[in-house]
Amino acid sequence: MSRSLEDFLAAAPQPQRAGIRALLALVRRPRGARLLGLIPPLRLLAGSLLAAARCEEDSVARALGWDADAVVARGRELRRAEGRP
């Protein structure tokens, strides 16, 4: 599990934290994913959480058009050009 997803779960109240962890455990298994397919909103929630966690990976983010290093470099250049620290 990604660090950001762990941080997200740690901030949740205990009942929700346990429920989300169980949901993620189910969706990662083929039979669990099929079971969640019977309840589309839960399948969507679990899939969205997994997708958000994967977007934290540099290779996935770049494939989606997001390059964090380029954004930081662009911001630093703007700050220098404006004379800000």
- Mean per-residue pLDDT over the chain, rounded: 87
Helix (H) or strand (E) holding 39: none
Let me know whether 63 and 33 are in one domain: no
Please return the burial class of 2, using the count of CB atoms within 10 Å of its CB with bins 0-12, 13-18 and 19+: middle
Let me know whether 3 and 20 are in one domain: yes
Let me know whether 37 and 78 are in one domain: no
- What is the pLDDT at residue 79? 94
Let me know whether 65 and 47 are in one domain: no
Let me know whether 15 and 39 are in one domain: yes
Number of domains comprising the chain: 2
Q: How far apart are CA 38 and CA 50, in angstroms?
A: 18
Let me know whether 5 and 44 are in one domain: yes
Let me know whether 14 and 47 are in one domain: yes
CB neighbourhood size of 46 (10 A): 22
Nearest Cα to Cα of residue 55 among 46, 67, 43: 67
- What is the pLDDT at residue 69? 86
Domain that holds residue 46: 1-54
For residues 81 and 62, the model is more confident at 81
